[in-house]
Structure formats: C-alpha cells, structure tokens
Structure 1
Amino acid sequence: MLYIFDDFVLDPGRRELRSGASAVAMEPQVFDLLVHLIRHRERVVSRDEMIESIWGGRIVSESALSTRINAVRSAISDNGTEQRLIKTLPRKGVRFVGDVREEQKLTEATSVSPLERRAVEIIDAHRTAEDLPALALPGTAMIEGYSEALSPVEPTPSGSRHVLAPRATVAAIAAICVLSLGTLTWGYLARSAESGRRMSIETAAKLIHVSEEIHMNSRENYEAARALRQWAVDLDRHNAEALADLTFAIVTGVLNHWSENEVADLHAADLTLQDALSIAPGSMKVRGAQCHILRAMRQYEAAIKACSELAQSFPKYAFLHKEVGYDRLMMGQPNEALAEFLEADRLEPNSQLRWSWQQGIGVVYLMQGQDQKAIEWLARAALEAPNAANPVAYLASAYALVGREQEAHEALVHYRKLWPNTTLETFRPSIGTAAFNSKMQRVLEGLRLAGLPE
C-alpha cells in the first residue's frame, strides 16, 4: 500500500519516503513512527501506544519521544509551530491530520498500475508537439494502430549478454518515467513487433540520462537502473556510454549481493565492457567501468594499477579514489584505503556516490577501534543510503562496541528487515584477502553483540 500526501509518497513495503524524485533520509524509528501515525490517522495516538509500537514497550524518556516526533515533522516539511500535518493534543497524544490518498500496489509484473498508466498519459501528452507515434502501455505493442499484449518474458539463456531482472522492466521503468518527465520528454517508447522493437538513438541517449539520475543505493533502484540501461544498449549497441553504464550497474549488483547469479552477471558485465572498450578505449567512463569490474573479480592489484593510471589523466574523478580505497581495504591496507576515501570526499563532496566512501571511512575507523569516528561516518552513510543495508550493519556493530545497546539493536533490526536471513557466518559485504578477513573479526564481534545470530 502506498500513502500519498502533500508532495510525498510513503511506501512501507520498501521502507521509503519520497518527495518527488528524491528519497527522504530517515532513521528507522522515525520512519516507523510516521507509518504508524498515518495508518492510524483516524484517531489520536497516545504516548503509551507510540512507545509500545515503536520501542516495544521499553522505557523511553519524554525528550527521546519528542525528538522522534520532531524528526518525523522535519522529514515531511512540518514543524511544531504550524503542525500542518502532525498535530499535538496536550495530555492526549498526536494525530496525523493531513489528507492522505491510498493506492494499492500491484504485485503482478505485467499488470498495468495507475503509475504506469499515468506515465503513458504524460508521455502521450507531449507526442503531438514532437510528431511522435502513439504510445503503448507497458507490456503491450502497437500493431497497426492497436495495442496488443506481448508474450511473457522468457528466461534469457545463460550465454546471452541481455541479462536483467524482468520484474524491473515494467513497474520500475514506468515509475522512473513519471519521476523524470518534469525535466525530460521521452521519445518514441512504443515497442513495435514489425520493427523488432527498435527505437531511435536519441531515445537510447535519453534512457541513459534517466538511468543516471537513479541512485543505486538499494536493490529496487539497482534493478530499475539496470533495466533502463539494458534497454538503452538494446537500442544502440554502438553507444560506448550506454555499455559502460550497463557494466557499472551489473557490477554494482554483484558487489552489493543484489545479483541473483553473480557468475553469470560478471560474465555478462565483462562481455559488455569489452564491447565498450572496442568502441571507446580512451573514455573515462569506460575505463572507470574496467576498474569497477576488476574489483568485483577480486583482481585488486590489477584494479589499483588501472585506476591509478586513469587518475593521471582524470585527476578530479572521485570514483577512482573510491575504487582504489576499497581495493586497498580488501588487501588489508586500511591506512592507505582511508587516504583514498578522504580524497574522494574532498573531490566530490556532493556526489550521489558519497555514501559509498563514507561507509569505507567508517569501516576503516571501526577496524582500527576508533569507534566514535566510525559512528559519525557510518551514520552519514546510513542516512544517505538507508536501504543499502551494509552501512546500517556496520553502524550496528559500532554502536554495540561502545555499549550503545539500544541504538545497536535498532540499527540491526533495520538491517535485518532488508536482509532477514543473514547470520554472522553469511555476513559478507565483500570477500577480501586473509589480511582483510582478519581485520573484519572486530566488526563481526560488534554484530554479535548487537544480536546478529550465529
């Protein structure tokens, strides 16, 4: 169920609050409190009910409760003075008083949701001015002017380069269409049976632009970005930028364990990269993708060499320092890794990738026993990428190691909502060298204290 109010969309299933195209960063308890207030908006929610629902009945101070309520208000552009959306009733509790519209989420990947239909309506509204053909709903093709259902997607042979998550190709793409149409008018998006579903090179370029606006900091965002990039490559296999972007997306899925078949995906990414290198061997983005895949293949020394050489030509490319940082970390060289992460942060302090090197900085400090510094950096990473999972897990470990048990428990609960089956034995953000694995023991001890099962 989606809850829509003001300019916000609340999705409890994905644990996301979005304002337009942007995700709103929220701490787990703050998010849970907002969900509870909206679900029970027909009445006043008492202090005791909030404590029971959000804290499980544990003793909570008035100041802690007030802080969480104020954080909820801040996240939805409200405040204690106006109380436009959340109203406090003295000695009774609080109530969500904003207008809320509920929309049911469809689970069938081939079903046409209101969001998808709206995407078609918006795109079609622009087509007359651009003299574009009519548009079909996702899951259909235009044949002689009529919309006809397409056959179900068949599993892709393991040897094919066209490897993507089918569930992302309909709903996720339609959602991104809606989020992006404020600044971007798409070209002809209908798939035609007669033309073999070929679209223009211009449309492929626009798909690339849309996909690059998606922050791949959650499984859902990764699947959406990968689907769009695969689509762009299918339209224009001679576009080196599209091929590099697809390589980045596939490798990101492997490194974050969002991939359903890591071996097949790495093979697909390698083939895609080879095509890109054959077209534009000197491209910064293509060679950056090469650095990325070498880390996923655990060829750390080769990755460091490739990234360092590329940095000579592109000294302001922060991504390279992030990559070398993780390569150094995997080799058990935390001090060298820290220097690279900090340099990435200096070069691009506002990058959408910032959470990834903030996480790296936090992990280094955690391994070195500088837990307060670790908490500061990991908290930033968790706020910027709450559904990336690993930053929250590391934060739980750091909290536990300094005795902040409640916060450690809360962070771990959030992590296990994303990865419910993880244990200490299976927790593996990446597989490094023996030196790295040795330094990870302190991190695992923190997770053990936080409550991650054996």
Structure 2
Amino acid sequence: MLYVFDDYLLDTDRCELRHGSSSVAIEPQAFDLLQYLIRHRERVVSRDELIESIWAGRLVSESALSTRINAVRSAIGDSGTRQRLIKTLPRRGIRFVGDVREERQAAEEPPSGAPESRAVETRKLDETDRQSDWQAPEGRSGTLPQLMASPSKPPRRFFPRLTVGVFAAVSLACVGVLTWSYLARSAQSERTRANIQTAAKLTHISEQINMVSREDYESVRALQQWAVDLDPHNATALARLTSAIVTGVLNHWSDDVVADLHTADLALQDAIRIAPDSMVVHGAQCHILRAMRQFEAAIKLCSEVAQRFPNHPFPHKEIGYNKLMLGRLDEALAEFREADRLAPDSRMRWTWNQGMGLVYLMRGQDQDALERLSRAALEAPNAGHTAAYLASAYALVGREQEARDALDHYLKVWPNTSLNNFGPMVGTAAFNSQMKRVLEGLHLAGLPD
C-alpha cells in the first residue's frame, strides 16, 4: 500500500518514507507509528492504543512516546506548535489530520520454477536405486527370500547403516546448533557494539545543539532518547536526556510538566547508578532540583559540584538561579559573574546574562539590565523570558517603541501570556516580591492583564 500526502509518500511494503524524489530518514518505530496513525486517520488514537500496537504493550515511558511522535512530526515537516498534519487532543490522544490518497502497488508474480520436473527426477532416481539394491547377481535368479537365503551372499544388514546414519545426522545437528549459537552470539555482540557507537554519535550530535528554542529542545530530546534506547547503560546519554527534559520544563516548552519531571528523574536515577561521580550526572542533578523547586537542596549539591569541578561554569549558573528564586539577589549576582568569568565565550552565556539582567532590573539598575538583557536576547531570542525582561527594562526607562517591539517578539513565541500568568513567577514569596517591578515594566510595555 502507498499512502500519498502533502508531497510525501509512505511505502508500507518497503518501509520507506519519501519526500519528492528523496528518501526521508526515519527510525523503525517512528515509521510504524506514522503508518498506524495514517491507517486510523478517521479517528483519534489514544496513547494507550499506540503503546499496545507499536510496542506490543511493553512498558513505555511518556517521554519515549512523545519522542517518537516528535520524530514523526520532524520527518514529515510538522511540529508540536504547528500541528499541521498530526494534531494532539489533550487527554484524548492524537490524530493524523492531513489529506491522504491511497494507492496499491501491482503485485509481483512469484518466480516460475520447475518443481514438477525435479520431483519426477527424484522419483526416477529412487526407482533406480531400489532396482540396484534388489537386483539379483548376474547368472542367478529366484525370488527375494531365496536370494536373501543364498549362502553365496550373506543377508544385507540394515541396522548398522541406520545407526551410523542416525549418528551422523545427530552429529551434524549438534554442529549446526553450536554454529548457529556462535553466529547468533557474534551477531548480537556486533549489534550491541553498533548500538553503543551509534548512541555515542547521537549524544555528540545533540551536544552541538544549543537549546534556545522549542525546536532545538525537541531535537535534542529526541536524539538523547534515541541514544538511551540504543544504549541504556550510557550514563552520559541518560544525564543529558534528563537535562534536556528539565530545560523544556524550565523554559515552558513541556506539554506535561509532571510526567516529564518523572521521566527525567527515572533517567537520572539510572545515570547515578551507572556513573555516580560523573560531572555530567551531577550537573543533571543540580538542574532537576531547581525544576522541582528544591532550591536549598540544589544550592547545597551544586556548591559541592563547583568545588569538585572548579573550572565549570554550569554549577555557578545553577546556584545563581536557585538563589535568585529565594530572593537572595546579591548572592545570585555573584554566582552569575563567576560563571561569566570562567566561560566568557560559552554558548550558554545567555543564561547567566539573562540572570544578571533580571537581578539588575529588580534592583532598579535599568541601564545595566538593558546591557545584559540585550546580549541575552541577541544570543537566544526565543528562549526563556529574555525578551519580556528586555521589554520591561525598555519601558521603565521610557523607550516605548523598543519596549513594544521586544514585547511583540515575546508574544509571538508565547501568544497567550498575560500579567496574571507570566511564567517566571515560580519562586518563593521573596522572589515574587522582587518581580513586582518587572511586572510594572511589562504593564507599561503593553502586556495585557
């Protein structure tokens, strides 16, 4: 069966997805998922049904399922934001909503052979053999019993030949089983090595992606989930999957915060069990504690990590944000500055520039806030809430047009934002108190109630 939709062709016989004349790379489970959604496009398919159909009811995390859905969307040029072809219906499931045309391939006729002639030849050979076995010696005649009783030729003994034949067959079977077992183990070992190598390459690729947008986040999460599926004992892949999921939660890219944090925590526990002393694993621990609002515990752990790995900026950045959430602005600013000192050229610099800018904005140092937030917005315009903070700072210094422009950009990314649901208000009462000045600036910039 061929399914044609939106310049794509899904060939179920060849397990191939094509876009125009080009083949589209898609992993097997994602292909099966796409095929299932298309075949049942007339209705909404629940997540439980997908797990039962694609994974045969095996235990599958929400993260793994979401990763495959995102992989399908990516393969067909869709996204979780656009949902042009695959639509998510909250608490119900997903449905393929694109227009599909079905075509059938012409079936190939089975190759013609000559089994009948081979059978005839075999029968002739059998008859010849029987004749030669029972033919009387030249010059002699008689019935079969007479010939077998003749003293000139002892009776044929079938049992020794049969025993030797059985022994040979059993020996051959044993050799075959041993050979098959060896080859199977070798093939399995080779597949394991290939999976480990592929997982390492996927992790390396994901490390090159700076998560500054929802699309980046979805790509990194999909790559890391794929790496973990291939090599469940890869602590680095597990830790980076945790960090990717947590980044989605902290940047409000997650569609289900509770489920995602649960998935991230399970991956982290596996990573800790495999490599308890890894810097990447410790960094993921710091990250997830902040997302779980365990600010004091996060500061304690991140401080220990900073002492063990003094040249890494990540622990200081995390300490800064946790202290910011507790309303300890001076201490937070010191940690952000330390991160900037350690890695002034890091691609993560926008994160501590955003932190410093927010501290300055809360303290009324608007020019310093504008400097830091402008840098962060230039490096990561669609990440975090940099554009909103920048709009607030512009409004508070009277630069109204620039404030509106920055707010317009922010609302394109987060169209349903208002003063009542502005995302960053997840800290303590001390933090929320400091946010009042930021919200005042957003009100001046035009953010609705």
TM-score, normalised via structure 2 length: 0.64
Aligned match for 1:360, one of 355, 365, 385? 355
State the partner residue of 2:234.
239
Contact 2:392 2:444 in 1 (8 A): yes
1:336 correspondence with 2:331: yes
Aligned letter for 1:420?
P
The corresponding residue for 2:257 is: 262
Residues 169 and 228, structure 1, Cα contact 8 Å, conserved in 2: no
Distance 1:112 1:164 in 2: 20
Residues 275, 161 of structure 1: CA spacing in aligned structure 2 closer, same or farther, 3 A cutoff? farther
Q: Is the 8 A contact 2:7 2:20 kept in 1?
A: no
Would you say the 8 A contact 1:217–1:387 is kept in 2? Answer: yes
1:213 aligns with 2:211: no
Aligned-partner Cα distance in 1 for 2:31–2:65: 21
State the distance in 2 between where 1:374 and 1:395 align. 8
Report whether the alignment pairs 1:421 with 2:416.
Answer: yes
Measure how far apart 1:449 and its partner are: 0.3
Structure 1: distance between partners of 2:9 and 2:356: 41
Residue 108 and residue 430 in structure 1: after superposition, are their counterparts in 2 closer, same or farther (change >3 A)? farther
Structure 2 counterpart of 1:275, from 261, 267, 270:
270
CA distance in structure 1 between the partners assigned to 2:195 and 2:351 by the alignment: 35
The answer to whether residue 252 in structure 2 is matched with residue 248 in structure 1 is no
CA contact (8 A) 1:214 1:225 kept: yes
CA distance in 2, matches of 1:293, 1:346: 24
- Whether the 8 Å contact between 2:7 and 2:19 is mirrored in structure 1 is no
Tell me how far 1:428 sits from its aligned partner: 1.8
Sort the Cα spacing of 1:413 and 1:106 in 2 relative to 1 into closer, same or farther, 3 A. farther
Per the TM alignment, residue 112 of structure 1 is displaced from its structure 2 partner at its CA by 5.2
Unaligned runs of at least 5 residues, structure 1 = 1-104, 121-134, 142-147, 176-194
- How many angstroms does 1:160 deviate by? 5.2
Aligned counterpart for 2:382 among listed residues 384, 387, 398: 387
**Aligned mates of 1:322, 1:113 — CA distance in 2:** 44
Show the counterpart of 2:434. 439
Aligned residue type for 2:318: E
User: 1:407 maps to which residue?
Assistant: 402
Q: Is residue 274 of structure 2 the alignment partner of residue 372 of structure 1?
A: no
What SS does structure 2 have at the residue aligned with 1:260?
Answer: coil
Q: Quick one: distance in 2 between partners of 1:286 and 1:258?
A: 22
Structure 1 residue 316 corresponds to structure 2 residue 319: no
Q: Match of 1:223, SS?
A: helix
User: Residue type of the partner of 2:264?
Assistant: A
Q: 1:136 to 1:279 in 2, by over 3 A?
A: closer
Number of residues paired by the alignment?
Answer: 312
**Are the equivalent residues in 2 in contact too, given 1:334–1:364 (CA < 8 A)?**
yes
Give 1:281-296 correspondences, 5 Å limit: 281-296=276-291
Change (3 A) 1:163 1:372: farther
Q: What is the match of residue 114 of structure 2?
A: none
CA contact (8 A) 2:9 2:19 kept: no
- Give 1:162's match in structure 2, choosing from 53, 56, 64: 64
Letter in 2 for 1:210: I
Asked if the contact 1:116/1:138 (under 8 Å) is kept, the reply is: no
Give the corresponding residue for 2:130.
Answer: none
Larger radius of gyration: 2
Q: 1:392 to 1:149 in 2, by over 3 A?
A: closer
Shift of 1:214: 1.0
CA distance in 2, matches of 1:371, 1:273: 39
Structure 1 CA distance for aligned equivalents of residues 19 and 339 of structure 2: 41
Identity among equivalent pairs (%): 60
Measured at CA, do residues 430 and 119 of structure 1 come closer, stay the same or move farther in structure 2, by a change above 3 Å?
Answer: farther
Q: Distance in 1 between matches of 2:272 and 2:349?
A: 27
Deviation of residue 343 (structure 1)?
0.8
SS in 1 for 2:64: coil
For residues 86-112 of structure 1, give each alpha carbon's deviation from its aligned partner in whole angstroms, at most 9, with x where no partner exists.
xxxxxxxxxxxxxxxxxxx98999995
CA contact (8 A) 1:358 1:381 kept: yes
Q: How big is the shift at 1:150?
A: 4.7
Structure 2 vs 1, CA of residues 316 and 164 (structure 1 numbering), >3 Å: closer, same or farther? farther
1:292-343 CA-to-partner distances (Å, cap 9, x unmatched) read 0000001011000000011111001101000000000000001100010111
Which one has the bigger helix percentage?
2
Q: Which stretch shows the higher mean deviation, 381-390 or 227-236?
A: 381-390
User: Could you tell me how far 1:168 is from its partner in structure 2?
Assistant: 2.6
4+ residue runs over 6 A deviation: 105-111, 135-138
Match of 2:296 in 1: 301
Secondary structure of the equivalent of 1:164?
Answer: helix
* 2:321 aligned with 1:326: yes
Sort the Cα spacing of 1:300 and 1:453 in 2 relative to 1 into closer, same or farther, 3 A. Answer: same
TM-superposed CA distance for 1:276, in Å, is 0.4
Measure how far apart 1:346 and its partner are. 1.0
Determine whether 1:350 maps to 2:252: no
Q: TM-score, normalised by structure 1?
A: 0.63
